[in-house]
Structure formats: C-alpha cells, structure tokens
Chain A
Amino acid sequence: MNNSTQQSQVPLVLQAKGLIKRYGHVTALDGVDLELRQGEILAVIGDNGAGKSSLIKALSGAIVPDEGEILLDGKPVHFKSPIDARKQGIETVYQDLAVAPSMTIAENLFLGREILKPGILGTLFRALDKKKMLEDAIAHMQDLKIGIRSMKQPVETLSGGQRQGVAVARSAAFARHVVIMDEPTAALGVKEGNMVLELIRRVRDKGLPVILISHNMPHVFEIADRIHIQRLGRRAAVVNPKNIGMSDAVAVMTGAMKPEELGSEAHA
C-alpha cells in the first residue's frame, strides 16, 4: 500500500470511476475503476466475460457507459463515438480491422486525416498533398524504427506484423494522450509478435501511455509496467508484474485466488 501512495504522485492521464454498463439483464461493467499513469504501459487482463472489452470500448468511445465518469487529465470527458475519443487524443489500435488492404502505407497512415493541398484545390476538391503525406509517413515510420522500403506499397503486400506496425504507427502519430491497443499480437507469429512488443515500448518511450489488452500472459509480463486484472465487471486488483508470478495473476483473474491473498508487494 505504501508503494501505491508513493506512485500515485505520478499524474494520472486517464481515469475511469465506477463505470456501469448493462445490456438488458447482463451487467458487463459493474462499477469498474481504472487509472492510467503518465508514461506507463498498463496491461488489462481478464477472463472472457470479465468486461475487458466493454471497458476498453467505453474508454475508446465505442460504447457509452450507463453510469460513472471518465476523466482525461483530471477533466471529465464524454465520448459518443470513437471519433470523439480521437479528437481528445485517444487513439485505438484494433486487432486486425483498421487497415485498408489495397491502399498504400502512406494512405493508411493518414486515412480519415489526410493532409490537403493549400488553396482552392484543397478547399474545394479536398485534393491531397501527397508529397507532404509521403514525407510525414516516412518520418513517423522512422520515429518508431519501422523499416519498410516504400510507403507507396499497398498494405496487402506486407506481413501481418508489418501491417500491425502501420496501425501502431498511425495511432502513435496522432495520439496526444493515450494509445489503446486491443490484442495487437493475437494474430501474429512469435517473431512478429516480439517486433510489435518492441514497437509498443517505443511508443511508451516517446512519452505516450499505453493501455494494452492481451490474452498472451508472457507478452503482458514482458512489457507491462502494471497489470489491471478485470473480473466480473470490476477491477479485482492492479499488480506489479515484477513482484508477482504469472500463475498468481491468472489465479486472481479466474477467481481461484482472492486479491487479498496476494502479498502486499504484489499490488501496484
């Protein structure tokens, strides 16, 4: 407990308080809290039905919670759509959905946020400043050390890991506050998964806090600074991966062990 009062000096970027979401008789979120600190990777784990994805959807604006509040930099925010969340600087990387395969890397990076030409061509026809987009795309990819030969390649010619790289780079390029990653390594092989983990670290090192949702315990323990364990629509515990074994974390997640049974050093 000592530990946590000490660390709470670090400013909270994103905070959820008592979020409730019901679907008919089913309660997906039952008063869940979440805190994301500046410059950390917070992993969210939980069994199926624990409310993990509802929590993330609430934070990224994909669903509107029935009750509770979300604070961004201490100020309450209300997201009606993912676009609202994005306008507030929260970017989400989805598992495999958010790239357009036949379009180029540069186009995908700027999809929905294209850079327009100055003057009448830009305002009337919304003509693209392709040169600027290409330069910026190269800069963003270099920023995260993603090595890709040509930005004019269609995304469908890339490997799964490289595609995910494009999605991560897009979020990192536009996020001002938070990057949320929903199972970014689920569809990838070992080598590519590691590549994406490395990318996530670089995003954090740029100063952007990351919320990572994953089923992959080794990945979570390798990369997370803190782990939020979600159970039955609530937060069961927040643990420090350095001071807790993987099996204990899974035990708490599945209900085999009560959070209180963990040593105080395990909590974060």
Chain B
Amino acid sequence: MKKIFHQIATIPAAGAFLALAIACLFFSMQSDRFLSGQNFSLILQQVMVVGVMAIGQTLIILTAGIDLSCGMVMALSSIIMTKFFDAYGLNPYLSILCGLAVAMLFGWFNGMLVTRIKLPPFIVTLGTMNIAFAITQVYSGAQTVTNVPAALTFFGNTFHIGGTTLSYGTLLLVALYVFVWWFLRDTAPGRHVYAVGNSPEAARLTGIPTDRVLLWVYTIAGLFYGIAALLSVARTGVGDPQAGQTDNLDSITAVVLGGTSLFGGRGVVLGTLIGAVIVGVFRNGLTLMGVASVYQILVTGILVILAVATDQMSRKRG
C-alpha cells in the first residue's frame, strides 16, 4: 500500500488527476447538470486564459524561478491589442502582433534582469508586475476598450461537435499544452529547461548555456501571456485594464496543483492543465450546487497545501 502511494507520488500529475476525477464524480452526484459535454466545454473556456498563462508560469517554475508579473503583462498586452486598433485604426492582426511583442518584451526584460544582473526572479517580477500595471492604467486611462474588431474575438467563437459547443480558444489551449508537453519531453532545449532547474551549476558544467536557456524561457513565457491576452479579449469581448490582477497567483496555483515542484526541475506541463481545470471544476460545480464561491477558494487552498506536501514527500524519498 505504501509502495503504491509512493509510486503515485512519483508520477508528477497523478495526484492532480486523481483529485480531478474525485471532484468530477462528486459533482456529478450533486448536480445533474454537471456531467455534460456542454458544461465541460464551458469550464475549459473559463480556464483558458489562466491556463495559457500557466504554461509560461510552468516553464519558469521548472527553472526554479517564479513570475509574479504574468497577469499584469497579460492585461497590458490586451490593452495594446485593443487600443492600437481602437485609437489608431491599426490593422487588427498587426495590433495582435504588437500586443504579443510587448508581452514578449516584458518577458525578455525579466529574463535579462534575472540572468545579467542576477536578481532573484521573485523581486524582478514583483517590479515588472507593478510597472506593467502602471503602464496599463496610464495608457488606457483606466478605461475599458469596447471597440474590438472581429479578428480579436475569433478565439471566442464556437463550433458544434455532436451537440457540444466548443470554442476555438479551447482548441488553442489544448494544442498549446500538447505542443509544449512534447517540446519539454522530446527536445534538447526542453530537457535543458529541466537541467537548469535541477542544478544550474551542473547544467553549466555540462556545457549548457544556462543564461541563454533562462532568457528564452522568460521571453517565451511572455509570448504565452500575450496569447492569454488575446484569449481574454476574445472571451470577454473587451480590453479590460482591470483584468489579470490575481492571475499570477491563480497560474501558480494551477502549476502547483499540477504537481510541478516550486524548487524547479520536476513536473509535467499537462499537470498544469489539470491543475487549472480542477480550479474551474470546483468553481463551476459549487455554483451548480448553489454553494457560495468563497468555498471554492477554501477548497483550492486545501488542495494547494496537499499538492505541495506531496511534492515535499516525494523529494525527501528521492
């Protein structure tokens, strides 16, 4: 029995998957509206923004870093995308590219501060979080941008498969996860991310350009925040300067629930998707039951502690 527990604990996302399965079983017994393709599609749509951001967060946490700036960078990027179109009449696709570029620029800036000046990622991203927030408020005048072209809301559009409505954003979410999962598992740069997180010194001595790895990880994470911005605009139909304020913690929650170690070097990105979905399932399920949403936060808190405790135990054993 103990052995089985240990084996489960060593498969990074197994605990998360188990929690998800139990939660789904529980909610299907509590509400007849829970267990439907339509409802699951809805949950995926609700987690897609944080879900895509959490990919970037996973990459960074795998290198033993952390990114507090992601939500604010996402909000800034969404304001750039919408306002470049709204205020200057820029081509919507170019506006999207500008939004993505700004998000990557912030990621790159984080990476430069972490690798060149050797500042701790927590402090660096605490700083850029505030910078991104301030720029967002100043540039938008704290005003929501409502004039949004169709190109920016494409990923909010839906199509039908056998009575279930799916959004293109959901497809993008899943596709990005599968790609990054493959990339981290089966490519040299992907493995270098784990090596740097395991032991930067060992990685350096084996000839891995650790600074270059960190720099591209932070920059690519920025790209994911930009994509999340696009999905956020698509989902809400507006450019919202107040968006993303708790998304840094929400994305870290998804990563941790998914079994990725905050100490770096261990974890599977698909676990993060499960982690994000768990939060969505609780929010949705408890609402269907008529339970106030504050209990969803309570449950999330308990799950986070369980996930981190499991991580610690499996590390001690190793």
Contact = CB atoms under 8 A, between A and B. Distances in A.
Contacts of B318: 101-102, 154, 156-157
Contacts of B192: 112
Contacts of B202: 97-100, 111
A130 B186 contact: yes
A197 interface: no
Interface in B191-230: 191-192, 194-195, 198-199, 201-203, 205-208
A100 B189 contact: no
B183 interface: yes
Residue from A92, A103, A111, A126 having most chain B Cβ neighbours under 10 A: A111
Interface size class of B (residues with CB under 8 A): 20 to 34
Contacts of B265: 100-103
A114 B191 contact: yes
A192 B186 CA distance: 33
Contact of A107 (B183, B191, B266): B191
B207 A83 contact: yes
Given A127-B186, A127-B187, A156-B318, A101 B198 contact: yes
Interface in A166-202: 170
Interface string A78-113: 000011001000001010011111110001000111
Contacts of B186: 127-128, 130
A114 B189 CA distance: 10
Nearest to A126: B188
Find the residue from B186, B194, B206, B207 having the highest chain A CB count within 10 A.
Answer: B206
Contacts of B203: 100, 111-112
A125 B198 CA distance: 22
Contacts of A157: 318
Contact of A97 (B191, B194, B205, B207): B205
A119 to B, nearest CB: 14
Given A101-B198, A102-B266, A82 B205 contact: yes
A134 interface: no
B188 A114 contact: yes
Contacts of B189: 126
A128 B188 contact: yes
Nearest to B201: A97
A94 B266 CA distance: 23
Contacts of A116: 188
A263 B219 CA distance: 65
Interface of B: 183, 186-189, 191-192, 194-195, 198-199, 201-203, 205-208, 265-266, 318
Interface of A: 82-83, 86, 92, 94, 97-103, 107, 111-114, 116, 125-128, 130, 154, 156-157, 170
What 4 A-B pairs come out closest when comparing CB atoms?
A100-B198, A112-B207, A112-B206, A114-B188
